[in-house]
Chains A and B, each alone.
Chain A
Amino acid sequence: MKIKHILSLLFISILSSFTCAGAAEVGGIDIHGFISQGYITTSDNNFMGNTSDGTFEFNEIGINFGKELTESMRVGVQLFSRDLGNYGNNEISVDWAYGDYRWKDWLGIRVGKIKTPHGLYNETRDVDMLRNWIFLPQSVYPEIERDAALSLMGVGVYGNARLGRFGGLSYQALIGTQNIEANESLAQSLMGINTFDPYMRNQDINVDKKYAVSLTWDTPLNGLRVGGSAQVARMDLVSYGAYPAGSGIFSYMFMEMDPETGIPVFDSETGMPVYSEYAFNAFTDVKTENYVISAEYTWNNLMVVAEYMLSDRELTINTQGVYPDMANSYDETFAYLGQTEWAGVYSPSTPIYRKPAGWYVGATYRFTDWFELGGYYSENYGNRNDRDGATAAADVFQPLDPVYRAYNNDICLTARFDINEYWAVKLEGHLIEGVAGLPLSENTGMDNAHTFVKDWEMYAAKITYNF
C-alpha cells in the first residue's frame, strides 16, 4: 500500500522534472497530473481519522492521459490515489476513463467511467489546486459520502446551447452503475458506523442503477451562473455486525435461554439476565436522491457562491440473525419457539426514511497574484425535519446520542498562497458546532461510549502541485 504510494510519488516527480513544471506530451498523448500533501488536526473529535492527534494521512495524487483521435473524438483516463484518515489508503483507482464523441456543440456522448455532476464542484473535488478552500463545505460535499457522489460507469450525453442575449445553457445527463468499495466511507455511512453502532461493517455494496443530471445557466450578467443537479441511485448493501454479550441495539434479543423450557436464564448473583454474544447480517435496499441548486457570481477577483442540497434516503433493512456461536442461523436456533423467520426490529415493509439537507455561502477574494483569501459558512442537518435532533434523541429504540450529532455548523477561513502557476500552499481553520457527518467508530472510547465534543476546531495545511 505504502509502496504504491511511494512509487506514485516517484513517478510523478520524475515526470514533472521532464516536463519542467508544465504539461507533458508523449507520442501525441497529453499528460497532466497533480499531487497534494496535507496535515489535519482537530481540537476535539476525529474527522475521518485520528485527527485529534494530528495526521499527515491526507493526500491526493492523480495523473491523466488524453488523446484527440479525430476533431470530434477523444479518449482519456485518469488514475487516482488518495488518503484521508482511514479512507483511501493510497490504493490506486481509475478515477475516470472514457471515450468522448462531440457531434455538435449541443450534443456529445461519453461512454465509460464518467465523473458525475453534484453541485458546482463535485467533478473536481479531488483537485486541490482548483479552489481556494482545502475542504469543500461538508453540507453539500460531505467527505463521508464522497465515493457515492463521485462517478458512474455508463453513458452520458452533454452539450451547451447559446441563447443570444439570454446567455447560455449547458447540460449533462448520465445513466449507469457504480463500483463502491465496501469499506469506503459511503457504505459505512449508509449502514454501519454512522448509522447504528460501531460494531457494524459493510461486506459488499452493489449499485444497481444510478442517474445523474445537471443544468447550468450562464446568465446574461457576466460572471453569474446558476444551476441545478440531481443524482438518483438504487443499491444493495450487505452488512455484518458481531457483538459482545449484552452490547448493541439487538442485545435484548439474545438472552441465554433454557433449552428445555425456553425461559430466560438469570445470573444467580446479580439476578440480571444472562446475555450471549451474537451477530447478524443485514441486507439493505437503499434508494438515494440528492438534489443541489447552486449560484456562483464572479466579478474580477471576487467570487461569491451559495449552494443548497436536499437528500432523500429510503432504507429497507432485512436482517438475519446468527446466534450464539455464529455458526447456526437464527432460524435454526429459534425454530423450537415456532419462529422460522426474523426480519429484525425493522420490518422489510417498513422502510427507514432519512432527509438530510445542507447549505452554505462562501466567498473568495484574490488580493494579489500570490495571495487569495476565502471563507464560508455551512450548515448541515442529518434530518431537515428535525434540525436540532430533539425528535431523534427521544427515540425509544435508538436515541440519537449526543443530540448535536443532528447538525454541523461550520465557519471556515482559508489563506491560499500561490508560489507560482504550479505550486500552492494553503492554511485553513474551522470553527464547528455539532458533529453531524463524523464517523461514530472514530469517536468511540474504550468503554464504547462516544467521545464527541459539541464545539470544536479543525485546522489544515496543504501544499499542492499540478502540471
Chain B
Amino acid sequence: MKNSFKLRFRLIIAFLLVFITLSEAHIFASDAIVVGSKDLSVSTLSKEAIQNIFLGQQTTWEDGTKIKFAYLQLDPTDKIFLREYMYYTNVRYIRHWRSQVFSGKGEMPPMLQSDEEMLKFIKENKGAIGFVTSGADTSSVKTLSVK
C-alpha cells in the first residue's frame, strides 16, 4: 500500500511539473500609459513605486498629499499595465485586493470601466494616479514617465 501511495505521489508530481513548464505566450504591445493629476509634484516614477502605490503600500506622495488611485478594468489595457509595470496578472491583482477587503485591511480601489472614466477620476481628484490606453486624450491630465 505504501509503494502504491508513493507511485501515485510521483505521478502527480510529474504531472504538476509538466504543466508548470508549459510555455506562455504574452505578446503585448506596450500601450498602457500612466497618468496623474496635474497637481502632482512628480513626473517620473519607478516601477517599484508603481507597484507600491497600486498595491496600497504607499499611500502618500513625498509632499504628504494623499494618493488616490484607480484601476482601469479594461481588457487588454489592464493586463498590459499589470504585466509591464507590476509583474502581476489581473487575476492575481484582483485577488490581492479581495484579500485586503475580506481580511479588513483595505478597501478596493475604484474599478473603472473606460479611459474616459479614468481621465475624469484623475481630473477631479487631487493626488490622483491611474493608467489609460495609449492614444486616449490625456490633455487634461499629467502623463508620467516610468523608468
Contacts and interface: CB of A to CB of B under 8 A. Distances in A.
A413 B11 CA distance: 12
A129 B89 contact: no
A96 interface: yes
Contact of B108 (A23, A127, A222, A373): A23
Contacts, number: 102
A66 B104 contact: yes
Interface string B79-116: 00000000101011011001101111101100100000
Contact of A162 (B5, B58, B91): B58
A30 B58 contact: no
Contacts of A454: 1
A411 interface: yes
A366 B66 CA distance: 35
Nearest to A34: B102
Contacts of A66: 101, 104, 107
B44 interface: no
Contact of A375 (B16, B22, B108): B16
A124 B87 contact: no
Contact of B57 (A22, A100, A170, A431): A170
B104 A375 contact: no
A303 B95 CA distance: 13
A185 to B, nearest CB: 21
Interface stretch (A71-79, A260-268, A306-314, A332-340): A71-79
Given A124-B103, A162-B58, A411 B12 contact: yes
Given A162-B52, A454-B1, A130 B99 contact: yes
Contacts of B120: none
Contacts of B20: 302, 304, 363, 365
A421 B94 contact: yes
Contact of A377 (B9, B59, B107): B9
A413 B102 contact: no
B57 A64 contact: no
A409 B98 CA distance: 31
B108 A76 contact: no
Interface in A47-88: 62, 64, 66, 68, 71, 74, 76, 78
Contacts of A431: 5, 8-9
Contact of B89 (A115, A366, A377): A366
B24 interface: yes
Contacts of A466: 98, 102
Interface string A219-240: 0001100000000000000000
B13 interface: yes
Contacts of B13: 377
A32 interface: yes
Contacts of A124: 99, 102-103
B8 A78 contact: no
B32 to A, nearest CB: 17
Interface residues of B, number: 36
Given A124-B99, A301-B24, A366 B107 contact: no
A123 interface: yes
A78 B102 contact: yes
B31 interface: no
B71 to A, nearest CB: 13
Interface string A122-165: 01100101100000000000000000000000000000101010
Contacts of B58: 105, 162
B41 interface: no
A62 B19 contact: no
A105 B107 contact: no
B104 A64 contact: yes
Contacts of B99: 123-124, 127, 130
A115 B106 CA distance: 13
A168 interface: yes
Given A170-B57, A375-B16, A98 B104 contact: yes
B19 A300 contact: no
A96 B106 CA distance: 13
B12 A413 contact: yes
Interface string A434-467: 0000000000000000000011000000000010
A433 interface: yes
B26 interface: yes
Interface in A342-387: 363, 365-367, 369, 373, 375, 377
B124 interface: no
Which among B91, B104, B105 has the highest number of chain A CB atoms within 10 Å? B104
Contacts of A22: 111
A431 B6 CA distance: 11
Interface string B26-37: 100000000000
B60 A105 contact: yes
Contacts of B102: 32, 34, 62, 64, 78, 124, 127, 130, 466
9 contacts: A32-B98, A66-B101, A66-B107, A78-B102, A96-B104, A129-B98, A130-B102, A375-B16, A433-B5
Interface of B: 1-2, 5, 8-9, 12-13, 16, 19-20, 22, 24, 26, 48, 52, 57-60, 66, 87, 89, 91-92, 94-95, 98-99, 101-105, 107-108, 111
Given A98-B104, A124-B102, A431-B5, 6 more contacts: A66-B107, A130-B98, A162-B48, A162-B57, A367-B19, A455-B5
9 smallest beta-carbon distances between A and B, as pairs: A123-B103, A222-B87, A96-B104, A127-B102, A71-B66, A124-B99, A160-B57, A115-B103, A76-B104
